[in-house]
Amino acid sequence: MARNRKLLWQIFIPFFLIVMVSLSAVAWYASNSLSRFYRNQARRELRERAMIIKSLVEEDIQKGKYDLVNRRCRELGRATSTRVTVVLRSGEIVADSDENPEEMDDHSKRPEIRKAFKGEIGVASRYSKTLGKEMMYLAVPLHGRTVERAFGKDDDDEVRAGAKARAKAKAPIRAFVRVSVPVKTIKEKTASMHRDILTGGAVVALLAVLVSFWVSHRINSPILEMKRGAERFARGELDYRLATGENEEVAALADAMNNMAQQLGERIDQITKQRNERDAVLFSMVEAVFAVDMEERFIRCNRAAKILFGVGEDEVVLKRPFRDVIRNSDLESFVTKTLSASEAVSGEIRFHSGRSRYLHAQGAGLRDESGESMGALIVLHDVTKLKRLEAIRTEFVANVSHELKTPIASIKGSAETLKDGAIDDPNGAKQFLDMIVRHTARLASIIDDLLILSRIEQDESDEMEDMSLAPISPVLHSAMLAVREKAKQKDIEFKVDCSSSLHAFISPRLLEHAVINLLDNAVKYSDKGGSVKLSALEEEDRVVMTVEDQGCGISEEHQERVFERFYRVDKARSRKLGGTGLGLAIVKHIATAHNGSVKVESELGKGSRFTISLPKS
């Protein structure tokens, strides 16, 4: 779990971050705006210089006096601290204020010259290999004769002015006047401005940190005081009182906590006196709970205990002697033992109240504030079901052992016989091998059925995860197909009656397994040439499926137990037919898993009728 942070930092850090982000955004915007301003200012100055220089050298260029133009460019360059270059239309340099024009290469591909070819003012910034530094260049076209031009206040105005000039021009571009200045000059101006902004931002940030910390501390201090006060209350110092302070909300909280401490102090004695008795009486109210004093008279008795003892809920038992209400020698002895014991005691009691019950009793002494014994508390847990389950488990283990013992003994005997020499007799060996295969298959069937029962009972698998509203008819037909081959061997006819519109909330795989078990039993215990009827219908909010055969039937004395594990009506016949004794138990558990039920109606010699009833939803 993440460690909790102090409130001081939870308040201070967001304040600090907000201030820093705001300052950074303002500084960034101001720096960019001023940088753009200086660059635009430099561009305008270059344009004005270019236009002035163009007017001074235009006539000489048209007359081809390039030497004069070169001298004038050098003079103008020194006077304006600007590099001036005259480029002919072909890209040839005829004048340059800083370099020898004859040693300079073709400039027709320069970005500013290419843009000026279109009649516009070309602007570009790049590194100059000739001068060894970054420069800003601006080039203006020079036509064959003077052409009127209009210039605006910014680049867009320059573009519009250039367009108008081209529209009016009647002569082609003859040359270009290009001026340039080092970008370093612009950067030096912006760098100074950036330093001023950063210095001011740092001062403001420092002030913001101090103010934020001061505000956070003022908010956090009263809360820390509340925390310290609450810790003292938790240690039992209920006489301590919190200071109200200046803040209205904090003062209200302090008053509330002081009132709480006062009320706790007034009630703590009363709660201490009642705690032992109240905890004892209210403990485990689901079970039978009663308390008696040292004279074995009732102090408390809950509803579950009255029901167990057969006492009316409205009948008053308090202060009555225990023996006048309950007559059970085992329970009387246990109460006496608990009253005399210094520690908790436990035991098992057999109780008769209409029917025999097994109770697990737990007893503990009741003591007052001074530690003197004042009685005993008895808690009775009904473990009758657990006893019954234990008996069933014991019977189940015995049945499993018996069912597994027979095939294992047969397999072992067959294997030993083969080992002793029977394997050399082909006919005898085949019989023993068939016996091994048959009993091995029987063992596999028993184990598979046990695993299915275990999964359904323990709910450890996802067998019920595929429950959905599904049609019943496909399940019944699929189950019928699974046992059709066995039915053909005995010439048994299947009759299926189920509407295709009948649906229920089921697990198709589990329900099919249950129906297959019922159909398999119906085929096993039917005579040759008989018939088995499989049907399903809707009754109110339930779906009822029946499997009816014309077999030997089941006597009434066995009908209540046929769904128990390994219970067989005719053990010899069941084993001969390959039954495991678990088929109907599986059917019962599958029906229960669907919140349904299964029952049997049968008459000896006339057949049996098994019914599975499931809720539709």
Give tens-digit pLDDT for 215-265. Answer: 777 777 777 777 778 887 777 777 778 777 666 777 777 788 888 887 887
Assess contact for 121 and 162: CB atoms under 8 A: yes
Which H/E stretch holds residue 377?
A: strand 373-382
H runs (alpha helix) in 283-382: 303-309, 322-325, 329-340
Domains of the chain, CATH where assigned? 44-182 (3.30.450.20), 283-382 (3.30.450.20), 387-457 (1.10.287.130), 462-615 (3.30.565.10)
Collect all residues with Cβ–Cβ distance below 8 Å to 331 and sequence separation of at least 6.
349, 351, 359, 361
- Please give the Cα distance from 165 to 338 (Å, whole number): 119
Asked whether residue 148 carries a pLDDT value surpassing 60, the answer given is no
Using only C-alpha atoms, the chain has a radius of gyration, in whole angstroms, of: 53
Q: CA–CA distance from 596 to each of 543, 546, 548 (Å)?
A: 10, 14, 19
pLDDT digits (tens, 9 = 90+) for 549-585: 888 888 777 777 777 766 666 554 445 444 556 777 7
Q: Tell how strand 345-353 and strand 493-498 pair up.
A: unpaired
pLDDT digits (tens, 9 = 90+) for 371-392: 788 888 888 888 878 877 776 6
pLDDT digits (tens, 9 = 90+) for 482-511: 888 888 888 888 888 888 888 888 888 888
State the pLDDT at residue 156: 54
Residue 596 neighbours by CB distance under 10 Å: 21
Q: pTM value? A: 0.39
* Cα 613 to the center of its chain, rounded Å: 38
pLDDT digits (tens, 9 = 90+) for 508-525: 888 888 888 888 888 888
213 by Cβ neighbours in 10 Å (0-12 / 13-18 / 19+) ranks as middle
Q: CA–CA distance from 598 to each of 15, 546, 589 (Å)?
A: 72, 10, 9
- Please give the Cα distance from 289 to 305 (Å, whole number): 6
State the pLDDT at residue 572: 45
For residue 378, give the nearest of 258, 478, 293 by alpha carbon. Answer: 293
How does residue 397 score in pLDDT terms, banded at 50, 70 and 90?
A: low
